[in-house]
Structure 1
Amino acid sequence: MKLVMYTSMSQNTITPSFEWKTLNSNGTSGNINLKCLLYGPENKDHIADLHVYPSNFTILDTLWSVSSSDIRLKQDGIHISPLELRQGEQFISIHNQDSYNSPFLVTINGMEISHLQNLLNFHPVEFSGNIYGTMSIPSRLSEQPMIPLGITVRNFHFQDGDMGTLHVTGSWDNTEKRINLDAMTRQSQHDSLKINGFVDIADNSIELNFSPRYTSTEFLNSWLKGVLGEIKGTVSGQLQLKGPLDSLDLYGRVVLDTLRFTPPVTNALYTMASDSIFFEEGKIIFEDFLVHDTQHGSCVVIGAITHNKLEDFGYDLSFDANNLLAYNHSGIDNNDFWGTVYADGNGRLHGNTSTVRADLNLSPKYGSNFYYNSSETENASGSEYIYFHNGETQDKSLGITENKQIENFKDNSSDVYLNLTANINPNAQIVIYTDRKTGDGLYLRGNGPIDISWHNKGKFRINGLYTTTGGEYHLTIQDLMKRNFQIQPEGYLRFSGNAKDGDLNLKSIYTVHSVSLSDLNIGQNISNATTNVNCILNFGGKANNPQVTFDLDFPTAGDDMRQTLQSAISSQEDLNMQMLYLLTVGRFYTYDYETSSSASAQNQSVLAMQSLFANTLGNSLGSIIGQALHLNNWTFGPNISTGRLGFDDMEVGGQFQGSLLQNRLQLSGNFGYREQNTYANNFVGDFNLRWLLNPKGTISLNAYSETNDRYFSKSSLSTQGGGIMFQHNFNKLSSLFRKKKTKK
């Protein structure tokens, strides 16, 4: 504190003036002017008269006024005319009656506790509230001071936690030179907090015993909100706050009656009940805490929060999760990544207020979905990932770049380090949007250990091989038509550091059913036949610059027919044109209209329009069915396709694909009816069943039944089969047969 005194003296009169200012930011400043008249020995019982002039002082930025007052000192006591410190409706006044030996009456009306803390520079813990009450102090210095009963603190808060109304009684222990306190606060009839102890004036120390009963845990937010989010609940038990005022500590044990919190990192709501927290010197200890989420998952937490006299907080917590909701962020804030992830595994969270470290080893469980928005519409003229146009094809990047969330984290003063080993399996769906608005992108399921390291002020690194077991690629053509390509197994994404340099090797197929071959004009003997056509998209190259190529396959055609069709579509330009036509109209493109009759050309245009209408109707029905059933793990695709004669020989059917029993049983197939004489069976009923025998899906049972569609075959209506499939990734042939060494 900086204190300056100016004074003048004349005979037996002193006129001092004081100015002061504390150096800390929570202190006070001001001035006070006095006039003191001293009496000589001839006035045996009269010592001095002191006059206080009106003045002002500040506590923080709050201005207080000091009223004028007269103070008379005599041998038998002190007399004070009303002396008042006031700020608005808040005031403290002190005075006594005319008698010099009558006690001083101190009245407190609405004074904020925090103002007293600032005056005393006492901030190891924070209190707030408005004090009301009176205090009686003897005017004779030799008498024992008394502390009155009945002080009330309204709107009492401890560490910003609402504690209700506090009632305090106290007394002065003249022998120990300390103030004994007894208090109780409550918010309702069902809770209470009893406080007893003392403030030692001689040793400048404190010892307060807290006995909470269903007391709100809101006060914990000031210490733990940054790690656990907003904490809500109640506690019971015994807690002691003791030590010198500048180095307090907590001791005791409290039981969590109920506790709810949502950590910002996971954004998932967790609950706890009936677990104990132990307070020791410099530690808050958690032993076998059982934490539940809202989806029947759980984890066990052990560890401690450390501190240095209620400052410099740190933490070291370990957990073991069982189907825990480990990540629950929505995409409504336009974040680049979000999702819902359920996981088994373990981890460790440690650090302090300036550094957060998370070491995690997790395996996703059924129902997990993780989304990444790679579209960069602000940097591109359009959001289409694949363009169809004349000439060479153009590709756009998947846009795997350092995202907005990471950039925002870099503005945080704290250092955040994340080390994650994700043992990804088909339980988790990974979605990489190329256009979030239309839903275009890769919807992947697969296997692979992925190691991720990230520092919010450094780099994002990812290593590992992700091998696909299935999924879809959603493509919107000119904002009108949606086509869902099936991702084939054994594709991969390989990362070795920078996510943008990841290697891609993915194959996706969209099947157009019952395409008429008459449009290709490749022979009268097969003009009445139809075949299924697989439109293939191959993704290769790097994640930040993928190469997309097209291809066509004819799964229901024989070897001779396949060779004939491939010869008819020989050039890359032909392939691109047929791909576009098949995806949009559902038919092959017919060449050489100029050599055809006008009637034939007109007929081809009518058939194309009928086919386009039928395809659009089929896709619209698929969207309606998907929205009505609300089945995330199932897709349905009604199919309406026209034949050589348009609506006169069209086919009606549908495809389905989905999983049951937590993705262990996978089903797909198609069904329908066709009115054509070239087939031995007009009804179609194909299915494929796959049962995963282990969680990773490397061993499975397969069964299928397929309708024979070959134009020359009428003897066999369908083909059935089954078997067992083993899948294993390896870099060397020797590693395929090598047994893993078990750790001892």
Structure 2
Amino acid sequence: DAKDNLIKTRIGWANNKERLFKADLSASTLFIEEEQEKGPARLRTEISLNESPLILNDSIWHIAPSTITLADGKIGIQNFSVSNGTEYLHMEGTVSKDPTDTLLLDLKQVELSYIFDILNIPVLQFAGKATGTFNITDLYGSRMLNTDLEVQNFSFNQVQLGRLNLFSEWDDQQKGILMLGSIYKNDTTWTDVSGYVYPVGKNAGLSLFFGANDLNLAFLHPFVENIAKNMQGRGFGNIHLHGPFKALNVEGDAFVLDGGLGIEYLNTYYTFSDSIHLTPGAIIGRNVTVHDKFGNSAKVNLTVNHKHFKDVNFDVGVQTNNMLVFDAPQKQNPLIFGTVFGTGTASIKGNGQLINFDINMRSDPKTSVKLDFMNNSSAAEYDFITFVDKKELRKMALTQPVDSIKPLIFKDKNEGAEMRMNFLLDITPDADIELIMDPVAGDKITGNCSGSLQIQYGTKTDLRMYGNIGIVQGNYNFSLQQLIHKNFKIRDGSVISFRGDPFEATMNVNAIYNLTANIQDLDASFANESARRNIPVNCVLNLDGVLRNPAISFDLELPGSNEELERQVKSLVDTEDMMTKQIVYLLVLNKFYTPDYTINPYKSNDFSAVASSAISSQISNIMNSFTDKVQLGTNIRTSQDGIEDTEVEMLLSSQLLNNRLIFNGNFGYKSSTVNNQKNAFIGEFDLEYLLTPSGDIRLKAYNHANDMYMYLKQALTTQGVGIMYKKDFTRFSDIFRRRKKYPMIPLRPAAPDSTQQTPAAAGQTKK
């Protein structure tokens, strides 16, 4: 509004960005014509600023009433003040061509980030509470400007560096602001800063020298975030940060103490203390010793080339020795997850669009990997969906254009660098491998394997696997219709083969479940062929075919029994249906199924078998919650007519001393009216100690109970002790050839091996 030499003005402005900057200013301007004794009249202009609100970065400030006078070529400012609580900016003084006129700017606890946000220089993310003075003299001439500031909690790129004491002045010859200061981490540790900031013009930029002394290097993270995550370290040395604001360079030699960075896909973090060389176009490290979180070390050579921290490409070579190289949880990588320690080499090359990992490793102890190829879907297939807060979306729709909201709803599936990984792995028995067969039922194969694998995987390519792994030892957690849950022991020689698509991997797995059962339940006549009624039985499970849908077959073995008894049992169990029935009875009730067409007066009680199975299941579940090294179970057997003939056993199985001490035993009592045995103690065990890691040579001792009705004149037990030696061979000359430490499994299944064993256990024969 303009009337009678008076203009009343209202100015409002605001942004529509994430952080709010807004103002509603009002002022009145009065034009006064002053008569002169000599000469024409002069114009005097008085601007009165009214009290107004100001929002900076979501903080509310207040502009106090003040006056600005323009007369005789001078600008006079009186009581200009902007405040927010105890924080304020106060300006007072005169600006003119007179070199003696001075403008004073007084700051107290003013946040620097407000100023640099307004300047909109993304690479200068300075922050901190500034207190001090600015003196500006001869603005039209030499532009003499000097400051004396103290900035508490001074930070750069959101990294707090310490307390900054800064003296600066305008250098008219250099057309820049000379800066001299020190960043104090504490009273005894500081970093000197010197150089120039050129705020405007064609040479707008900076040239700052840091005499680093325990300087937090995390402020460099925005420059390398495409390569690494969570960069940390304390720098010592001389660093020069220079160049235009949009094309900065860093030069110098620095020693990094307690440095650290992470590799996102591998989910690993490495620390180091070594020297780094910085050039205008590269970051170079030679033979840098890095450590994982467990203290294991590796040697790294790296070169990161860049053009002002843009168009980055890098070449990293790593030589590891029993180091953590993969530590991904299932949520991050649903198909392959776990922890891998490896010895070998790794090459990481790439740029902002494509990163190639070429890794050649041998697995080391403490490696534990889980493979889950049964789930048909994963979260990665739906990464184009992003959940948003609808309330916030409505608010933004009122103030922001639709185009700025769309990226919050639709996420670009192809954003970020593509990663391609090629792993050549020598799998050794040191690694624990778990292959999930049925995630719902809990079926899985766990064990130690040996072999060679090639794994190819990428963020935009399907998983491919090639090679064979042989299971040296392990377990198959087998379930059937929620009725059977048993841990089968996988035999050495079982193989899983990969030919590309991991979902189409083929299996050739042979596993057994050990138990003892009364042979009389199968047929009463079989008792005449065995020295013991309760004989060891192996329930054999064979898995053949495609991983997703393998063919399952069963078999029975009678270890320790004579060949004639085993032949007779096989002749009785001569169909697939009968074999399945026998396996189900043995696994569920711990007893043989008695065929309907046999007459068996010695058939044991099914009720006691159910009770025994239920108790064994509960005990095993309780023990498994504490340790998987010890397995406990029970056996309760009574006659079909009552509880006159009763056996109660506690079964114990354990593998200790790094699985080299194997113990199997059962303890209890039996009462038999047939043999006139009353509360006879049962104390049977088989004890084996592997003298070699492969188990080719082992010590064995055993104690087996005799059934008195079969041998009335013999002792209650039979003992044996000796040394066993086993050797697998395809040719006779292989017997005398040294075995490789970690044998490779051939790509095609080998012909069936002959097996030669040299028994030395007294009282028995091994075959």
Same fold (TM over 0.5): yes
2:250 and 2:744 map into 1 onto residues whose CA distance is: 56
Is the counterpart of residue 502 in structure 1 residue 477 in structure 2?
Answer: no
Q: Distance in 2 between matches of 1:238 and 1:217?
A: 13
Q: In the alignment, which of 546, 549, 554 is matched to residue 550 of structure 1?
A: 554
Whole-angstrom CA distance in 2 between matches of 1:649 and 1:314: 74
One-letter amino acid matched to 2:265: V
Change (3 A) 1:588 1:287: same
For the 8 Å contact 2:129–2:154, the answer to whether it is kept is: yes
Q: How many residues align?
A: 684
Moved more, 725-734 or 120-129: 725-734
Q: 1:670 aligns with which of 664, 667, 688?
A: 664
The residue number in structure 1 matching 2:406 is none
Q: Per the alignment, in what secondary structure is the counterpart of residue 365 of structure 2? A: coil
Could you give the per-residue CA deviations for residues 613-669 of structure 1, whole angstroms, max 9, x where no partner exists? 4444455555555555x5x6x454556464769773455553333563xxxx74434
Equivalent residue of 2:116, what SS? helix
Q: Any conservation in 1 of the 2:521–2:593 contact (CA below 8 Å)?
A: no
Is 1:470 equivalent to 2:473 in the alignment? yes
Bigger CA drift: 524-533 or 206-215?
524-533
| Contact residue 603 and residue 639 of structure 2 kept, 8 A | no
Q: 1:295 to 1:63 in 2, by over 3 A?
A: closer
From the superposition, tell whether residues 90 and 198 of structure 1 become closer, same or farther in structure 2 (CA, over 3 Å): same
Report the equivalent of 2:240. 240
* Residue in structure 2 matched with residue 146 of structure 1 by the alignment: 145
Q: Where does structure 1 lack aligned partners over 5 or more consecutive residues?
A: 1-6, 375-398, 737-744
Counterpart of 2:45 in structure 1 is 49
Partner Cα distance (2:281, 2:533) in 1: 83
Alignment of 1:342-741 (within 5 A): 342-373=341-372, 399=374, 401=376, 403-404=378-379, 408=383, 411=413, 413-414=415-416, 415-434=418-437, 440-476=443-479, 482-522=485-525, 525-526=528-529, 529-592=533-596, 607-618=605-616, 620-622=618-620, 627-628=625-626, 630=627, 634-637=629-632, 640=635, 642=637, 648-658=646-656, 660=658, 666-672=660-666, 684-690=684-690, 700-701=696-697, 718=720, 721-725=724-728, 729-730=745-746
* Letter aligned with residue 421 of structure 1: L
Instruction: Choose which of 146, 156, 159 in structure 2 pairs with 1:158.
Output: 156
Distance 1:246 1:358 in 2: 31
CA contact under 8 A between 2:253 and 2:277: conserved in structure 1?
A: yes
Please give the alpha-carbon distance, in whole angstroms, between the structure 1 residues aligned to 2:381 and 2:317.
25
When residues 403 and 641 of structure 1 are mapped into structure 2, their CA distance, relative to the original with a 3 A threshold, is farther
What is the distance in 1 between the residues matched to 2:188 and 2:625? 48
- 1:287-326 to 2 correspondence within 5 Å? 287-326=286-325
Counterpart of 1:389?
Answer: none
Aligned to 2:732: none
Give the corresponding residue for 2:104.
Answer: 105
Contact 1:96–1:103 under 8 Å retained in 2: yes
Instruction: Indicate yes or no: 2:78 matched with 1:74.
Output: no
Name the TM-score, length of structure 2 as normaliser. Answer: 0.76
Tell me which moved more, 489-498 or 17-26.
17-26
8 Å Cα contact 2:529-2:565 kept in structure 1: no
Whole-angstrom CA distance in 2 between matches of 1:309 and 1:72: 46
- Return the alpha-carbon distance in structure 2 between the equivalents of residues 28 and 360 of structure 1: 50
The answer for the alignment partner of 1:278 in structure 2 is 277
Q: Is 1:265 aligned to 2:265, yes or no?
A: yes
255-264 or 128-137, larger mean C-alpha shift? 255-264
Aligned counterparts of 1:334 and 1:437: Cα–Cα separation in 2: 19
1:459 deviates by 1.4
Task: Kindly state the Cα deviation for residue 730 of structure 1 after the two structures are TM-superposed.
Answer: 4.4
CA displacement at 1:427 relative to structure 2: 0.9
Aligned to 2:340: 341
SS of the residue corresponding to residue 307 of structure 2 reads coil
Query: How far apart, in 2, do the equivalents of 1:40 and 1:253 lie?
Result: 69
CA offsets 1:329-349 (integer angstroms, 9 cap, x no match):
455899564322211121122
Q: Could you say what secondary structure the match of 2:146 adopts? A: coil
Whether the 8 Å contact between 2:229 and 2:262 is mirrored in structure 1 is: yes
Alpha-carbon distance change, 125 to 422 in structure 1, aligned in 2, over 3 angstroms: farther
1:202-217 map, 5 Å: 203-217=203-217
Matching residue's letter, 2:229: G
CA distance in 1, matches of 2:748, 2:352: 48
> What is the distance in 2 between the residues matched to 1:24 and 1:512?
72
Aligned partner (choices 183, 191, 194) of residue 193 of structure 1 = 191
Confirm or deny: 8 A CA contact 1:518 1:644 kept in the other structure: no
RMSD: 4.6
Residue identity opposite 2:343 in structure 1: D
Q: Secondary structure at the match of 1:461?
A: strand
Specify whether residues 666 and 544 from structure 1 end up closer, same or farther in structure 2 by C-alpha distance, changes over 3 A only: same
Deviates more, 1:422-431 or 1:356-365: 356-365
Q: Is the 8 A contact 1:235 1:258 kept in 2?
A: no
Tell me the distance in 1 between the aligned counterparts of 2:88 and 2:612: 84
Name the SS for the 2:489 alignment partner: strand
Amino acid at match of 1:198: Y
Instruction: Quickly say closer, same or farther: Cα 1:310–1:437, change in 2 above 3 A.
Output: same
Same amino acid, percent of matched pairs = 19
Cα distance in structure 2, aligned partners of 1:503 and 1:106 = 79
Gaps of 5+ in 2: 385-411, 729-738, 753-767
Offset of residue 185 of structure 1? 2.4
Alpha-carbon contact 2:520-2:603 (below 8 Å) kept: no
| 1:252-301 superposed Cα distances (whole Å, 9 cap, x missing partner) | 1222221345544344453323x112211122222222122233421112
Contact 2:634/2:648 (8 A) holds in 1? no
* Alpha-carbon distance change, 626 to 135 in structure 1, aligned in 2, over 3 angstroms: same
State how far apart, in whole Å, the 2-side matches of 1:498 and 1:435 are.
18
Matches of 1:654 and 1:468 in 2, distance apart?
Answer: 25
With the length of structure 1 as denominator, give the TM-score of the two structures: 0.78
The whole-number CA distance in structure 2 between the counterparts of 1:161 and 1:197 is: 21
Distance 1:478 1:425 in 2: 34
Question: What is the distance in 2 between the residues matched to 1:707 and 1:238?
Answer: 76
Q: 2:254 maps to which residue?
A: 254
Query: 2 CA distance for matches of 1:309 and 1:434?
Result: 51
Structure 1 residue 177 corresponds to structure 2 residue 179:
no
Pairwise CA distance, 1:431: 1.0
Describe the SS at the equivalent of 1:517: helix
Cα distance change on mapping 1:371 and 1:635 into 2, 3 Å: farther
CA distance in 1, matches of 2:140, 2:351: 50
* Aligned residue type for 2:456: S
Question: Per-residue displacement from partner, 1:493-531 (whole Å, max 9, x unpaired)?
Answer: 111221111111111110112433334345563597332
Distance (Å, rounded) in 2 between the aligned partners of 1:639 and 1:722 = 32
CA distance in structure 2 between the partners assigned to 1:512 and 1:728 by the alignment = 33
Q: Distance in 2 between matches of 1:452 and 1:80?
A: 73
- Measured at CA, do residues 524 and 658 of structure 1 come closer, stay the same or move farther in structure 2, by a change above 3 Å? closer
Alignment-derived partner of residue 384 in structure 1: none
Secondary structure in 1 matching 2:581 = helix
In the superposition, relative to structure 1, how do residues 57 and 336 fare at CA in structure 2: closer, same or farther (>3 Å)? same
Q: CA deviation at 1:479?
A: 5.9
Tell me if the contact between 1:13 and 1:38 (Cα under 8 Å) persists in the aligned partners.
Answer: no
Hey, what's the Cα distance between the residues in 2 that align with 1:644 and 1:543?
A: 43
- Counterparts of 2:307 and 2:31 in 1: how far apart (Å)? 48
